[in-house]
Amino acid sequence: MGNVIGGLLTSHVPGIGGAIARGVEKDPYWAPFFDGFDPVHDWLAEAKPDVAVVFYNDHGLNFFLDKMPTFAVGAAASYRNADEGWGLPVQREIQGDTALSWHIIEQLVADEFDVTTCQSMLVDHAVVVPFQLCWPGGNAWPVRLVPIALNTVQHPLPSPKRCLAMGCAVGRALERWQGPERIMVMGTGGLSHQLDGQRAGFINQTYDRFCMDNIVHDPDALTRISALDIIEEAGSQGVEIINWIAARGALGEGVTERSRNYHIPISNTAAATMLLTKEPAEAMAA
């Protein structure tokens, strides 16, 4: 069974939430980014996902430097947002899906990915900004959430290869899921950006385009350099691409790029959005 219908890869710049709060999505600065969500809204209206499995990185809200899991899976009944920085108003709670969370956790551990399990978890802009982008308007969120956090904050970081393998293991778990839910996958963050230090404002379009051009059909190409080399190429926060890599793994076979948007800059970031859809399982079996 398992019903993965597609995935969204998107930047999670907190200022996007501030722009939504101020209603300035159509302003010349913001429109080139927000317009990239028109095809996403069309797809969501057709595809009607029930659950979002979201690969993201916590930025010091739920995990801090004193306790930093490499990979953590949420198994909470609901997820509170408590990240009001950068002009981003605190967002309403998101419902969890504990049955699917525990299924993923059991399958990951059986597959020898020894993840941290979180029965209570706060989520920051890396989850709520993509949710706001997908489902604007302030109504109750139409999907339940399974959050999977990857450490991009404190060294040593997981290797891109390991992140892809972990994402693939989540994909196998989703294939074995017997429930009727329509499941979408998200990977948030990136693309190239660096928020502080000597290279603050650093962006590398060549590397970003390489990632976007290869992530669908050759995700291994993104894993041939180490996390430290990604920082060299994409800036110290550009390493958030590992969330995209894991999400791509979870989508498995039969993935098509349905839309893409790339716009520089949004805040300090090369902002990118890719919508990937999955062929239905029956079509792949035929």
Q: Which does 7 bind (CB under 5 to 8 A by kind): Fe ion, ligand DHB, none?
A: none
Q: Which does 13 bind (CB under 5 to 8 A by kind): ligand DHB, Fe ion, none?
A: ligand DHB
> How near is the Cβ of 256 to ligand DHB at its closest, in Å?
27
Q: Of these partners, Fe ion, ligand DHB, none, which one is at the site of residue 24 (CB under 5 to 8 Å by kind)?
A: none
Map residue 87 onto helix, strand or coil.
Answer: helix
Distance (Å, whole) CA 69 – CA 157:
10
Q: Is 155 part of the annotated catalytic residue set? A: no
Structure tokens at 31: 């429109």
Q: How far apart are CA 13 and CA 270, in angstroms?
A: 10
Under the criterion CB under 6 A, does residue 144 sit at the interface with ligand DHB? no
217 is catalytic: no
Instruction: Tell which one of 4, 5, 10, 14 touches ligand DHB (CB under 6 A).
Output: 14
Which residue among the candidates 12, 59, 103, 125 is catalytic per the annotation? 125
**Judged by CB under 6 A, does residue 193 bind ligand DHB?**
yes
Q: Are 58 and 148 in contact (CB under 8 A)?
A: no
Q: 194, 268, 273, 277: which one contacts ligand DHB (CB under 6 A)?
A: 268
Alpha carbon distance 116, 128 (integer Å):
21
Nearer to ligand DHB, 14 or 130 (CB): 14
Distance of CA 114 to the CA centre of its chain: 20
Q: Does residue 243 touch ligand DHB according to CB under 6 A?
A: no
Q: Which of 12, 193, 217, 263 is catalytic?
A: 193
Residue whose C-beta lies closest to ligand DHB: 267
Q: Does 158 bind ligand DHB (CB under 6 A)?
A: no
Contact mark string toward ligand DHB, 49..68, x via CB under 6 A: ----------x---------
Interaction of residue 263 with ligand DHB, rule CB under 6 A? no
Site for Fe ion in 169-228 (CB under 5 A): 189
Q: Which residue has the tokens 């809200």?
A: 61
Q: Whose Cβ is closer to Fe ion: residue 158's or residue 189's?
A: 189
Q: Are 54 and 240 in contact (CB under 8 A)?
A: no
Pick the closer one to Fe ion by CB: 189 or 252. 189
Edge-first strand order for the sheet with 255-266 is 116-118, 71-74, 144-150, 51-56, 183-188, 4-10, 269-278, 255-266
How many residues lie near Fe ion (CB under 5 A)?
A: 1
| Minimum distance from residue 188 beta carbon to ligand DHB (Å) | 8
Nearest CA to 123 out of 190, 67, 54 is that of 54
Cα 139 to Cα 94: distance, rounded to the nearest angstrom = 11
For residues 269 and 13, the answer to whether their CB atoms sit within 8 Å is yes
Burial of 207 (0-12, 13-18, 19+ CB in 10 A): buried
Active site residues: 125, 193
Chain contacts with Fe ion (rule: CB under 5 A): 189
Chain contacts with ligand DHB (rule: CB under 6 A): 12-15, 59, 189, 193, 195, 237, 240, 267-269
